[in-house]
Structure 1
Amino acid sequence: MDEPTAEADASSALAAASSTAGDGGPGAETAVVAEGVRKAYGDVVALDGIDLDVAAGEVFGLIGPNGAGKTTLVRALTGTTEAEGDLRVFGESPRDVEPSRIGLLPQSFDPPARLTARELVDYYGGLYDAARDTESVLDDVGMADDADAWYETLSGGQKRRTCVATAVVNDPDLLFLDEPTTGIDPAGRRAIHRLIERLAADGTTVFLTSHAMDEVERLADRVAMLRDGRVVAGGAPDRLIAEHGGAPRLDAETAEAATDGVVERVAAGVRDRLGDDPTVAATDEGIRVRGVRPEAIGDAVGALDDAGVAFESLSWSEPSLEDVYLRLTGEEYARDGGDGAVESVESAAAVESVGPVATDDEVGDR
């Protein structure tokens, strides 16, 4: 499918998928609705007619390159920036939603550095009439053993886990997580993933933005991909992979770059053994044979041997959400004005966040 068609079909794909999204199934409450949402910073268009909906109880992934508009959309949905169009959260304007129903972890969040992790969670929990027990929240994010360390002395991953804790201490109905696992080590990422899965299982709606495609593929029920402020693809991760991810591939790493002659010899051998469907191309690391099913790996290796290709390693992989991302955005994505143009404008325009959504005044100050 070419890119213009993908953009035209993206909204309908999201709408079709939403009928079975979330734990509630057909007829489930809609937690988030965005229709025709637009936002510009001067001459830079951050959001260009966004349409999406998120069912209550589902994990919804928002992905896209730097500058695609993800952070602007999250800010619009949490009432921290104005935008044109129809924005509804639990049927209300984002600024009118009861603050205790919302949890927010911004991409950039700098709490008081001379408080301990426990004191930070206590503080943000104290902003609500009813909050979760601080110790259980710290345990959920893997910070129980370091709860008494000052925030400024924590590692980057520990800081991020503490920030996640401040966003969930109010036990929100809708949780916005903007790059929640940035800088977190593998063990910490697993703890956050388990927490997200538990929250969703208990009915919390999670709106997740991340550049970690494996994270989104694992956690999200549905995904929307932004590019240039527009939704260019949407649906369940497995559906997006089937439609846009391409074919399985066999990668052979070679000591020297593959010449055109070597590639043609391998291609001829592959055609003899496997027909015309698989394709052969040179990569930075060696040679890639795309379209090889698991049962045909031996024949593809035979074609490499017949062509005299000495390889140092072989790897076979199926397409993933990362392949979809690269296919629809380009590996070296840059919008007009350079990569990250919108995000740099957002940063200049944004008022520093103070943590979870707690009071109307705080929402307006973000």
Structure 2
Amino acid sequence: MEAVVEATDLERRYGDTVALAGASLTVGRGEVFGLIGPNGAGKTTLVRALTGTTEPDGGSARVLGEAPADVDRDRLGVLPQDFSPPDRLTARELISYYAGLYDDARDPETVLADVGLADADETWYENLSGGQQRRACVGSILVNDPDVLFLDEPTTGIDPAGRRTIWSLVEELAAGGTTVVLTTHDMAEAEHLADRVGLLADGRIVAQGSPDELVAVHGGASRLTIETTTDVDAFDDLEFPVERAESRRRSTNTDAVVIRDVTPAEIGPVVDYLEARDLEYTGLNWTEPDLEDVYLELADDAERERTARVTQRANAEAANAGETR
């Protein structure tokens, strides 16, 4: 794989806050690499280090074979989270303005069509919807036809149809050889777009691989959710693991149980089991693990490790303080 974007043991501190604690990744030409992770994990700091807008305290970064700050800006496209163009420019004027910054820019009309703004080209930026504004921002960083794209939460606030437009555009760019690094909290977006995904937690990439690889290793088992108020003990002689379903509103959901490791072919026998024992239920839902399961598992593990380190450090400081008295 020809490395286009490389980070090796990147470190960055802001006072006592550790934003990056040895983050490493390699992205090849034409590859879409998705960065996922909780808020505060260091995703934006990592992107800033790779684009030359933040100087790391340790480690190294290379983009297109050079230090990020030395890369020809004509070859890069960077969309930050907080990009805010002038309100009183129309979508067309905005795209045309950025096109004017480059000697060999793309046709603004084509860019407007690519991001789905051809029908809103004469609308001031401030009067565009939130999703349209984000599309305009995406368009403004495509006018130079970059070799490498860094997209920090590219589809935030965009409606589902608009999101699909941006996804298709990213796929077309990658197919043409553009290397894309994107951050996202949308697991469906990462699973759809990314060739590989890296989960950043506590300043480190704790796992990376294709979505399928990550799901296979970290996603857990399939789940058959049964909507029932029947107690879990009623399933004692079922051959599959059974537990009370978790609810987003509380630790357990009294209206459902989850049976794990059930294949589609085994759903019928489970139903026979329920009916043979007159166990009442109102619905069944079988699901395979996905990237969201990976995210929840790994982020939770990383948070437990972070908490353990903080607790260990606090205990050590307390012990040292006691010895000096």
Scaled by the length of structure 1, the TM-score of the pair is 0.78
- Cα drift, residue 332 of structure 1: 11
The code of the aligned residue for 1:280 comes to: V
The code of the aligned residue for 2:234 comes to: R
Q: What secondary structure, in the 3-state scheme, does the structure 2 residue paired with 1:292 have?
A: coil
Alpha-carbon distance in structure 2 between the residues aligned to 1:181 and 1:86: 29
Alpha-carbon distance in structure 2 between the residues aligned to 1:178 and 1:305: 51
Q: Paired residue for 2:30? A: 57
Aligned partner (choices 206, 209, 218) of residue 244 of structure 1: 218
CA deviation map 1:306-350 (0-9, x unaligned)? 4544333221111111110011112996967xxxxxxxxxxxxxx
Q: Paired residue for 2:82? A: 108
The code of the aligned residue for 2:30 comes to: G
For residues 52-91 of structure 1, what are the structure 2 equivalents within 5 Å?
52-83=25-56, 84-91=58-65
Alpha-carbon distance in structure 2 between the residues aligned to 1:267 and 1:132: 65
- Cα drift, residue 92 of structure 1: 0.5
Assess, with a 3 A threshold, how the Cα gap between structure 1 residues 106 and 306 changes in structure 2: closer, same or farther: farther
Aligned partner (choices 290, 294, 297) of residue 324 of structure 1: 294
Assess, with a 3 A threshold, how the Cα gap between structure 1 residues 108 and 312 changes in structure 2: closer, same or farther: farther
1:176–1:207 CA contact under 8 A, matched in 2: yes
The code of the aligned residue for 1:87 comes to: A
Moved runs in structure 1, 4+ residues, more than 4 A? Answer: 331-336
Q: What secondary structure, in the 3-state scheme, does the structure 1 residue paired with 2:82 have?
A: coil
The code of the aligned residue for 1:198 comes to: E
Assess, with a 3 A threshold, how the Cα gap between structure 1 residues 263 and 43 changes in structure 2: closer, same or farther: same
Alpha-carbon distance in structure 2 between the residues aligned to 1:191 and 1:333: 35
For residues 148-187 of structure 1, what are the structure 2 equivalents within 5 Å?
148-187=122-161
Q: Aligned pair 1:304/2:278, yes or no? A: no
Q: What secondary structure, in the 3-state scheme, does the structure 2 residue paired with 1:310 have?
A: coil
Q: Aligned pair 1:195/2:165, yes or no? A: no
Moved more, 51-60 or 301-310: 301-310
The code of the aligned residue for 2:70 comes to: D
Q: Aligned pair 1:266/2:235, yes or no? A: yes
Alpha-carbon distance in structure 2 between the residues aligned to 1:267 and 1:140: 57
- Cα drift, residue 130 of structure 1: 0.9
Q: Paired residue for 2:108? A: 134
The code of the aligned residue for 2:62 comes to: R
Alpha-carbon distance in structure 1 between the residues aligned to 2:273 and 2:302: 32
Aligned partner (choices 280, 283, 290) of residue 260 of structure 2: 290
Q: Paired residue for 2:6? A: 33
Q: Paired residue for 1:5? A: none
Alpha-carbon distance in structure 2 between the residues aligned to 1:89 and 1:145: 36
Question: Considering only CA atoms, is the larger Rg found in Structure 1 or Structure 2?
Answer: 2
Scaled by the length of structure 2, the TM-score of the pair is 0.87
Assess, with a 3 A threshold, how the Cα gap between structure 1 residues 77 and 311 changes in structure 2: closer, same or farther: same
Q: Aligned pair 1:229/2:203, yes or no? A: yes
Assess, with a 3 A threshold, how the Cα gap between structure 1 residues 331 and 211 changes in structure 2: closer, same or farther: farther
Q: Paired residue for 1:205? A: 179
Q: What secondary structure, in the 3-state scheme, does the structure 2 residue paired with 1:122 have?
A: helix
- Identity percentage of aligned residues: 58
Alpha-carbon distance in structure 1 between the residues aligned to 2:267 and 2:300: 28
The code of the aligned residue for 2:155 comes to: T
Q: What secondary structure, in the 3-state scheme, does the structure 2 residue paired with 1:311 have?
A: coil
Aligned residues: 297
Q: What secondary structure, in the 3-state scheme, does the structure 2 residue paired with 1:87 have?
A: strand
1:118–1:138 CA contact under 8 A, matched in 2: yes
Alpha-carbon distance in structure 1 between the residues aligned to 2:277 and 2:130: 49
Q: Paired residue for 2:193? A: 219
The code of the aligned residue for 1:311 comes to: Y
Aligned partner (choices 95, 102, 105) of residue 69 of structure 2: 95
Q: What secondary structure, in the 3-state scheme, does the structure 1 residue paired with 2:97 have?
A: helix
Q: Paired residue for 1:16? A: none
Q: Paired residue for 2:322? A: none
1:225–1:234 CA contact under 8 A, matched in 2: yes
Q: Paired residue for 1:345? A: none
Assess, with a 3 A threshold, how the Cα gap between structure 1 residues 131 and 267 changes in structure 2: closer, same or farther: farther
The RMSD of aligned alpha carbons is 1.7
Q: What secondary structure, in the 3-state scheme, does the structure 2 residue paired with 1:323 have?
A: helix
2:223–2:258 CA contact under 8 A, matched in 1: yes
Q: Paired residue for 2:243? A: 281
